[in-house]
Amino acid sequence: MKEIRVKLKERSYAIHIQSTLLDEAGALARQALGNNAHQAIILSNATVAALYGKRLQRSFTDAGFRVQRFLIGDGERYKNLQTAEALYKFLIEQQVERADVVVALGGGVVGDVAGFVAATYLRGIRFVQIPTTLLAQIDSSVGGKTGVNHALGKNLIGAFHQPALVVIDPETLRSLPPRERHAGLHEAIKYGVIKDRRLFQRIARDLDLLNGCDSEALAQLIARCCEIKARVVEQDEREGDLRRILNFGHTVGHALEAVTHYRRFLHGEAVGQGMRVAARIAERAGLLAADERQHLDEVVLRVGRLPTTKNLALRDIMKAMQRDKKAAAGRLAFVLPVTIGRVVIKTDLPLPLIRSSIKETLL
Ligand SMILES: NC(=O)c1ccc[n+]([C@@H]2O[C@H](COP(=O)([O-])OP(=O)(O)OC[C@H]3O[C@@H](n4cnc5c(N)ncnc54)[C@H](O)[C@@H]3O)[C@@H](O)[C@H]2O)c1
């Protein structure tokens, strides 16, 4: 079993990664939470619960928890305050106490809602992440960002609340639709580009194995990505500075999601396109060698087919980025690779350079 520790003083926790670990999640939770946790509320959706709910429930029951299940709707549109409110009501009705635990079984949507409710119910109770999408296993389950969407924007309501434990079973990815797996692989490529050239090369080499759900290849990939995220979060838990490098590919990625009303791209797919644009900007700005840019481009495109961007308007993409920039002190911030494995953050790029790079890459 691979174990990675996220060291954040009294908020430290372990990430465990291994095939069939789902069956041991209860025992691991018991170890992490101690004997004063009596109730475990498993939060999931119907899709994931049908696949893994029973096994997880058994494992928690065997570890001495009184287990209840609460299912939310499947999809980003259920990541909202109404869903959170329904869960608060359930927790109150079940008399869930401070020492009890919420267990998130599912992708990033389930994890974000579970974490947010756990952060706020009774001023904070513990929660365990059992992520079942590749994106959640390498990204959203680690780091303590939790939250829900508001009608006026994504992830606007939230809290930092670290999980008490993360249990990752790569076997659960076998049932994941290929498109979701590809989206996760784009986020994995992101880690390679920002911090680890060898990881990037391994993804390029093992792409077929990863796409074919080879458990060992996936476990290794997940472990390395979690390790990178853990080290970044340890140094910058609340995204003061360093954590911003995790946004590589996201400046344009977010804009692509927004201009297509979150209907065309999975998040990871938009990040894939965003990374291609960022690399093009870096090349044109003289920061990245042409062959490095081409290599990145080739690997991103080899992961799987990306939704088309051809019919989008440059003006709309630019506008969407400008709207996003308000959140970043009025400047467009780009994370740019200087080589595969190292990035810098630039906030003073000329707009024509950005425009022409988007045009050349996407339109
Ligand atoms: N908190 C963070 O740091 C952070 C980071 C990145 C993304 N996010 C959030 O994560 C969310 C996206 O997460 P996601 O990509 O996991 O999407 P998701 O949670 O919607 O899951 C994608 C789909 O896969 C299904 N699914 C999940 N596991 C499955 C399995 N093993 N087999 C078959 N189907 C399965 C789900 O039911 C869903 O339909 C977004 O809301 C995003 O804002 C949060």
Query: Percentage of the chain with pLDDT > 70?
Result: 98
Q: Work out which ligand 1 atom sits closest to the CA atom of 142.
A: 3
336 or 348: which carries more pLDDT confidence?
336
**328, pLDDT greater than 90:** no
d(CA 228, CA 196): 8
H or E stretch at 158: strand 153-160
Query: Hey, what amino acid is at 169?
Result: D
What is the pLDDT, as a whole number, of residue 242?
A: 86
How far is ligand 1, taken at its centre, from the CA of residue 163, in Å? 17
DSSP 8-class letter at 228: H
- Report residue 294 as tokens: 């081409």
How far are the Cα atoms of 47, 110, 173, 277, 358 from residue 362, in angstroms, in the given order? 34, 32, 30, 8, 6
Query: Hey, what amino acid is at 139?
Result: D
> According to CATH, where is 1.20.1090.10 located in the chain?
178-362
CB 86 within 8 A of CB 72: yes
Residue nearest to atom 5 of ligand 1 (CA): 140
Four-CA torsion 30, 35, 38, 43, nearest 10 degrees: -30
Q: Is 348 helix (H, G, I), strand (E, B) or coil?
A: coil
Instruction: Look at residues 31, 179, 143, 54 and name the one whose alpha carbon lies nearest to residue 105.
Output: 54
What is the pLDDT, as a whole number, of residue 153?
A: 87
User: Position of tokens 């999640």?
Assistant: 25
d(CA 199, CA 299): 12
Taking the CB of residue 356, how many other CB atoms lie within 10 A of it?
15
**125, pLDDT greater than 60:** yes
* Ligand 1 lining (C-beta closer than 6 Å): 45, 47-48, 51, 74, 76, 79, 106-110, 112, 132-133, 135-136, 139-140, 143, 145, 155, 172, 175-176, 180, 267
Instruction: Look at residues 40, 42, 35, 46 and name the one whose alpha carbon lies nearest to residue 75.
Output: 46
What is the pLDDT, as a whole number, of residue 329?
A: 67
Within a 13 Å sphere around the CA of 268, how many CA atoms are in the beta-carbon half? 27
Mutate to test the pocket of ligand 1, among 6, 80, 109 (most ligand atoms within 8 A of CB): 109
Q: Phi-psi bin for 334: left (phi > 0), alpha (psi -120 to 50), beta?
A: beta
Q: What is the CATH number of domain 178-362?
A: 1.20.1090.10
How far is ligand 1, taken at its centre, from the CA of residue 234, in Å? 24
CA quadruple 158, 162, 165, 167: dihedral positive or negative? positive
d(CA 220, CA 170): 10
d(CA 164, CA 257): 32
pLDDT digits (tens, 9 = 90+) for 69-91: 999 999 999 999 999 999 999 99
Residue nearest to atom 18 of ligand 1 (CA): 107
Instruction: Name the band, by pLDDT with cuts 50, 70 and 90, for residue 326.
Output: low
To the question of pTM greater than 0.95 for the whole model, the response is yes
Helical ranges in 196-214 per DSSP H: 197-211
User: Position of tokens 């106490």?
Assistant: 97
Q: What is the mean pLDDT of residues 163-179?
A: 98
Paired sense of beta strands 145-150 and 101-106, if any? unpaired
Instruction: Name the band, by pLDDT with cuts 50, 70 and 90, for residue 359.
Output: very high
d(CA 16, CA 45): 23
**46, pLDDT greater than 80:** yes
d(CA 41, CA 153): 28
Q: Which range among 51-55, 86-90, 189-193, 346-350 shows the weakest confidence by mean pLDDT?
A: 346-350
Q: What are phi and psi of 14, to 5 degrees?
A: -110, 145
How far is ligand 1, taken at its centre, from the CA of residue 107, in Å? 3
Instruction: Name the band, by pLDDT with cuts 50, 70 and 90, for residue 239.
Output: confident
Q: What is the mean pLDDT of residues 204-219?
A: 96
What is the pLDDT, as a whole number, of residue 55?
A: 98
Q: What is the CATH number of domain 2-172?
A: 3.40.50.1970
> According to CATH, where is 3.40.50.1970 located in the chain?
2-172
What is the pLDDT, as a whole number, of residue 327?
A: 55
Q: State the burial class of residue 86 (Cβ atoms within 10 Å of its Cβ: 0-12, 13-18, 19+).
A: middle
d(CA 206, CA 239): 32
Taking the CB of residue 345, how many other CB atoms lie within 10 A of it?
14
Query: Percentage of the chain with pLDDT > 90?
Result: 94
d(CA 65, CA 42): 11
- Report residue 150 as tokens: 């508001």
Q: Work out which ligand 1 atom sits closest to the CA atom of 268.
A: 15
H or E stretch at 359: helix 351-362
CB 278 within 8 A of CB 249: yes
Query: Using alpha carbons only, what angle is made at residue 56 by residues 148 and 3, rounded to the nearest 5 degrees?
Result: 80
Instruction: Name the band, by pLDDT with cuts 50, 70 and 90, for residue 323.
Output: confident
User: Position of tokens 């080879």?
Assistant: 214
